[in-house]
Chains A and B, each alone.
Chain A
Amino acid sequence: MTSQPGKPARRAAAPVEGRVVRDPEVPGPRLALVDLLDRVLAGGVVVTGEIVLSIADVDLVAVSLRALVTSVSALDGPVPVAQQIAREVGS
Chain B
Amino acid sequence: MSAMTEPQGIWVYAVAEMVLDASLGELTGVSGGPVAALSAAGLAAVTEQVPLAEFGEAALHRNLEDLDWLEEKARAHHEVIDAVAQQQPLVPMRLATVYHSEEGVTELLTGRSRDFRALIDRIRGRREWGVKAYAAPPPADREKAGQAAAPSAKTTGAGAAYLNRRRHERSAQEESRQAAMISTADIHDTLAGLAMAYRLHPPQAPQLHGNKQPMLLNAAYLLDDERADDFAAVVQSLAADHPSVRLDLTGPWPPYSFAELPELTPAGEPS
Contact = CB atoms under 8 A, between A and B. Distances in A.
Interface of A: 1-3, 5-7, 9-12, 15-16, 18-22, 31-53, 55, 58, 60, 63-73, 77, 81
Nearest to A39: B256
B251 interface: yes
Interface string B16-45: 000010111111000000000000000000
A36 to B, nearest CB: 5
A36 B67 CA distance: 13
Nearest to B246: A1
B101 A50 contact: yes
Contacts of A39: 78, 128, 220, 253, 256-257
Contacts of B104: 49-51
Q: Which of A33, A41, A43 has the most CB of B within 10 A?
A: A43
Contacts of B236: 1-2
B254 to A, nearest CB: 8
Contacts of A2: 232, 235-236, 239, 247-249
A40 B20 contact: no
List 9 tightest A-B contacts by C-beta distance, closest first: A50-B104, A43-B256, A39-B256, A44-B94, A52-B98, A40-B95, A2-B249, A19-B25, A6-B250
Interface in B73-126: 74-75, 77-79, 82-84, 86-87, 91-101, 103-104, 107-108, 119
A21 B103 CA distance: 28
B95 A60 contact: yes
Interface in B220-271: 220, 228, 232, 235-236, 239-240, 246-253, 256-261, 264
B15 A45 contact: yes
A80 B130 CA distance: 28
Contact of A53 (B57, B75, B201): B57
B205 interface: yes
Contacts of B240: 1
